[in-house]
Amino acid sequence: MSFTSHQPLPSVTPPAATVSATTKPTPAAALDVFTGDPNFMTSLARGLIVIQAFTQQSPQMTISQLSVRTGLSRAAVRRCLYTLTKLGFAGAEDGSRYSLRPRMLTLSHTYTTSNTLATAAQPILERMSAALRESFSVATLDGEDIVYIARTQVSRVMAVDLHIGSRLPAYCTSMGRVLLAYLPTEQLEQYLTRVVLTPHTTRTITTIEKLRLALRNVRRNGYALVDQEYEVGLRSLAVPVYTTSGRVVATVNLSGNAPRLSVLEMQSRYLAHLRNAANELSVFLN
């Protein structure tokens, strides 16, 4: 069973400023690779791109704003919104600014209830949080991002509000480093050729050479510890979840406040708990 999407739809998050002048293609432009594929439903893909364009930072947008963000024409965005509105997945209170509707939750609920790993992970994380009073998560890899499939939070440790379905860049997060480190060589090389290493803090690794070294260290140590690379003040520790065949399909993570949780304490006090949780999860994959 694999929880990694081999050909994910492109992320709709607008590209941030990078160390180079390279501009990432829009989600719509990235669909060009499917041109000529008779089995690919372009209209469905466009609808999903519009859905993914809505974020916590931009929960309401006009057709023009969505067109700019997705790279789709205004006419295509309008048709997607019309369909989503008719089906109850989106709507516009004032007739111009659209937002997603609660019916969208049925889609995520269907996934979490049908996903054995997500279903098994939640009570394990809750048990650890109750005993250790820390925040724990389980994630899988989807394209260039990690996606949270289970999470417990005892206190707010990040500026962003993370929840099931949240996405973060893989290269500068502990869970992402684990999932990248255990990718087959060909898949890792493909990732490294396309990733843009945006500096989120002064500590963020922004060269391929340093990222390769970090990933080799993950494989050697059997865990990843990332210290304030995605957000200042955030330190996190993650371990792999294996199948019986030895393939890594997910990762378990502890995230905490850097001034409160030292590197030594994370390694000495919590690493064993994370590995026990990962071993427990592995049972549900076999």
> Tens digits of per-residue pLDDT, 30-56?
898 899 999 999 999 999 999 989 987
d(CA 267, CA 264): 5
Q: Is 217 helix (H, G, I), strand (E, B) or coil?
A: helix
**Residue bearing the bigger pLDDT, 178 or 259:** 178
Confidence of residue 69 (pLDDT cuts 50, 70, 90): very high
Inform me whether the pLDDT recorded for 192 exceeds 90. Answer: yes
**Residue bearing the bigger pLDDT, 190 or 21:** 190
d(CA 72, CA 50): 9
CB 159 within 8 A of CB 201: no
pLDDT for 15 equals: 41
Confidence of residue 90 (pLDDT cuts 50, 70, 90): very high
Inform me whether the pLDDT recorded for 7 exceeds 80. Answer: no
| DSSP element (H, E) containing 177 | helix 174-181
pLDDT for 286 equals: 64
Cβ-count burial 169-198 (b if 16+ within 10 Å, e if not): bbbbbbbbbbbbbbbeeeeeeebbeeebbb
What would the mean pLDDT of 210-228 be, rounded to a whole number?
Answer: 97
Inform me whether the pLDDT recorded for 11 exceeds 70. Answer: no
**pLDDT of 164-182, one tens digit each?**
888 999 999 999 999 999 9
CB 144 within 8 A of CB 169: yes
pLDDT for 107 equals: 77
